[in-house]
Amino acid sequence: MGKSQDKKGDGSLAINKIKPYERFVTKETISKEGLFDVHKTEGRYYFEIPDSLLNRELLVVTRFIRTPSGAGNYGGEKISENTIIFEKGPNNNLFLRIATLVSAADENDAISKAVNNSNITPILETFDIEAENEDNASYLIEVTDFVNSENPLLTLSGSQKSAYKLSNLEKDKSYIKEINTFPINTEIKTVKTYTARASVERREKQLPAAVLAGVVTLEINNSFVLLPKTPMRKRMFDSRVGFFASSYLEYGDDQQQVDRNTYIHRWRLEPKEEDLEKWKQGELVEPKKPIIYYIDPATPKKWRPYLIQGINDWQVAFEQAGFKNAIMGMEWPENDPTMSLEDARFSVLRYFASPSKNAYGPNIVDPRSGEILESHIGWYHNLMSLLHNWYMVQAGAVDFRAQQMEFDDDLMGNLIRFVSSHEVGHTLGLRHNMGASSATPVDKLRDAEWLKKNGHTSSIMDYARFNYVAQPEDNIPVEDLMPRIGDYDKWAIQWGYAKYPMEMTVSEEKEFLAEIVTDSVTTNHRLWFGGEGRDFDPRSQTEDLGDDAMIASTYGIMNLQRIAPCLREWTKGKNSDDYSNLDQIYKDLVGQYSDYVFHVTKNIGGIYVTPKTMGEEGEVYRPVSKEVQKQALAFLDQHIFKEPKWLLRHDILNAIQSPRSKESVTKTMESVMMNLLGGSRLSRMTFIAERYEYENPYRPEEYIDDLNYLVWGDMNVFYQTNAYRRKLQKAYVANMIALYKPDEADGVVEGILAKLSEGYTSNTDVRSLALDNLLTLQSNIKKTLPVMTDRLTIAHLNYLKREIVAVVGETKDTPPTFFPINRDMSIKQDDDKKE
């Protein structure tokens, strides 16, 4: 760490006196040559910074090497990344600055002076120059105390410490383990020990080490990586193609407004010099530097070939971009001391011994250009449990291999392969494309010949796991039940990575590529990027399939109805086993059913969002048609408003749930009702009705009338409820009250709904409709009660009447204003494939 400098009598800083180089680098010194020459003398570490590296940008990536048990983080996971520069200071010292790229301007424009005057990078540390090496034109600085200290560049952030409940760094229990240096990077390994704060709340999770010892020890790696002197050429972002991106504000003398310079993340792939002519003629060529991912040697050997194949599957996409052998998966070299898993020069799939069911694919980029420099994919061992359960409940009806608790290695290996491909896609710069599966007509999901050619989704970057629509009689080959690299993936890689022989400026290339997107997506909907599924577009959802959620979910439920009676047999283990397998698989089956129901629900009040440029025809925002929304409501009536008795099997529930437990099916129904009567949905339907009044939209008052009929329409002299129906109606009333008067909503669920609704419904017609609905419902209950004979139904309706009166008061009888509905709400189905 930089030493504090002595002050002169007048208070100014004294200039540091540079000492002879030989005083620090002696015969006993252990020296290593690389990006920074590293010297270790008498337990102190020195960096030798060449003059050529001053003002050069370096990326500092900090990762975990080892973490304490229970932390939830694992070796190889990133802690932080920062860009730094070393700069010569005024008093024989070096400054370490944190570079921040927020805005920029062409240096030839006058405004560049204003930009420079408005931006100054912070100085994180000052180092005394201990000595100069005149032979190498370099400066020697001591880094021991800096590396051992707690600072935002090399250790945990404040939020990370807070999550671990850590406080002070214990310096006497922290040390530098080793420092290695290579041509373009220097790697530091440290051990950090922190005092752990005791939790005052018993419910708060604490690390076992903190409880037992009061301290927590971590092992951390810091990679200092030299960024290219000349940044890679940017490729400008287009919202219609799903790439991760970076941006900064760009100023220019000829502007009338500030531009945001947004560019995608991608690897630097360039043809070899000797292949340029072949490349210009359209031949496939190998890149100068291929993308290589190494497999962590901690990975079980039998899964390594499948992980490698998942990486190599992307070769076909890069061939469409003009490169062969552009990406490869490889085994980590055994016993090679020159290679480290934490070395930022190597991209590695890290294998974590963890109970978590997850995998992720990050990328580390040059912030100046978007060039991907490396990636450490995270792979959790227990992900196989998640894959097993997904496949059993989604494909168990059509693949006999899924009908057991332990899959054969080939099946599990291919499940691993598909996830490997998905995560690698992220490391190539691709975002999720949750709309990809909507480009496949539902009837084609049952067509073996079509699936063989196209797969069940156009992108492996979708969350479209397995083909749950396929029915047993369709005889779909098992290999066509799983996702694979699709049309969109190949096209997106081509758009992001293809190079063009013609000379173009970055701006001209942006226009050229925009025309390619317009032409491609207009003529082939399978190339549409549907986003991350975070808007109101029912085409862009996770875990869904096909272009019609009502039909797809109907087929999915038909397969679940085949699976449910078999669960006890499929989950059977040894005689000494308990019912934990059955419990977990049943929960996953109910979760799958819930997914199908919510895929349909998103159509109600849905808005199709299709990003376009000014050169394209059509509207960006379009409401889901009234017809489709009514079909969605009819589906919900059939599959969730009416009790799904096929799912409530006594042979399962009596083995896994206490009679006192609240069934997950009921929770799903309550969640659906909360969703259907949410303030966001109803206010959105109001807004749509106003904007699209010329298109006969599904108005909120008509929607509430339809929903009313499905929940209450059978209330007459013969009316008799069952327990499920009573819960449905209670959920309806609670949510309607929360819509009308959020501050009157009681209970956890109602309170949540009220908070969600309050902001959306204030000063809107939604609250008026809710009041009108409650008043009318109160009147209808009062008219019906005198002629009813079923005791529980009478008690139930009296309770609901009292709940309504408590909010809206007692009213005189008024004629009912609801219940009109289009009774023809049948669900469309493929005529050739009706069951």
Query: What pLDDT does residue 724 have?
Result: 93
Q: Which residue has the higher pLDDT, 643 or 835?
A: 643
Number of neighbouring beta carbons within 10 Å of residue 449: 9
Give the pLDDT confidence of 140-198 residue by residue, as tens digits: 999 999 999 988 899 988 878 887 788 888 899 999 999 999 888 999 999 999 888 76
Q: What is the mean pLDDT of residues 93-120?
A: 61
Query: What pLDDT does residue 255 have?
Result: 52
Q: Which residue has the higher pLDDT, 662 or 670?
A: 670
| Closest listed residue to residue 370, CA positions, set 266, 226, 494 | 266
DSSP character at residue 481: G
Query: What pLDDT does residue 210 have?
Result: 65
Task: Say if residues 653 and 624 touch (Cβ distance below 8 Å).
Answer: no
Q: Write out the two tokens for 760.
A: 């959306």
Phi, psi of 64 (to 5 degrees): -75, 145
pLDDT over 60 at 351, yes or no: yes
Q: Does domain 273-531 have CATH number 3.40.390.10?
A: yes
The torsion angle over the Cα atoms of residues 713, 719, 725 and 727, rounded to 10 degrees, is 100
Lowest mean pLDDT among 148-162, 239-253, 759-773: 239-253
pLDDT over 80 at 109, yes or no: no
The percent of residues in the chain predicted with pLDDT above 90, rounded, is 63
Query: What pLDDT does residue 573 have?
Result: 81
pLDDT over 60 at 368, yes or no: yes
pTM: 0.87
Task: Say if residues 118 and 105 touch (Cβ distance below 8 Å).
Answer: no
pLDDT over 70 at 107, yes or no: no
Q: Report the distance separating Cα 715 and Cα 721, nearest Å.
A: 9
Give the pLDDT confidence of 533-559 residue by residue, as tens digits: 888 999 999 999 999 999 999 999 999
Question: What's the alpha-carbon Rg for the chain, to the nearest Å?
Answer: 32
pLDDT over 90 at 824, yes or no: no
- Return the domain boundaries, the chain: 21-226, 273-531, 598-808
| Closest listed residue to residue 539, CA positions, set 439, 620, 676 | 439
Q: Which helix (H) or strand (E) holds 356?
A: none
Instruction: Using alpha carbons only, give the angle 666, 667, 668 rounded to the nearest 5 degrees.
Output: 90
Task: Say if residues 136 and 50 touch (Cβ distance below 8 Å).
Answer: yes
DSSP character at residue 183: S
Write the burial class of residue 734 (CB in 10 Å: 0-12 exposed, 13-18 middle, 19+ buried).
buried
Query: What pLDDT does residue 158 have?
Result: 80
Using N-to-C axis directions, what is the helix angle for 383-395 and 580-601, rounded to 10°? 70
Q: What is the mean pLDDT of residues 36-56?
A: 94
**Residues facing 560 on adjacent strands:** none
Lowest mean pLDDT among 31-35, 245-249, 439-443, 652-656: 245-249
Q: What is the mean pLDDT of residues 697-708?
A: 95
pLDDT over 70 at 204, yes or no: no
pLDDT over 70 at 828, yes or no: no
Instruction: Using alpha carbons only, give the angle 597, 657, 800 rounded to the nearest 5 degrees.
Output: 60
Task: Say if residues 721 and 641 touch (Cβ distance below 8 Å).
Answer: no
Write the burial class of residue 318 (CB in 10 Å: 0-12 exposed, 13-18 middle, 19+ buried).
buried
pLDDT over 60 at 523, yes or no: yes
Q: What is the mean pLDDT of residues 776-804?
A: 91
Phi, psi of 20 (to 5 degrees): -65, 140
Query: Which residues 6+ apart lie within 8 Å of 741 measured at CB?
Result: 767, 807
Query: What pLDDT does residue 832 have?
Result: 38
Q: Report the distance separating Cα 766 and Cα 686, nearest Å.
A: 8
Q: Write out the two tokens for 221.
A: 């790696």
pLDDT over 90 at 9, yes or no: no
The percent of residues in the chain predicted with pLDDT above 70, rounded, is 87
**C-alpha 728 chain-centroid distance:** 33
Q: How many residues does the chain have?
A: 835
Residue type, 735: N
Q: How confident is the model at residue 111 (pLDDT cuts 50, 70, 90)?
A: very low
Query: What pLDDT does residue 114 have?
Result: 46
Q: How confident is the model at residue 439 (pLDDT cuts 50, 70, 90)?
A: very high
pLDDT over 90 at 760, yes or no: no
Averaged pLDDT of the chain: 87
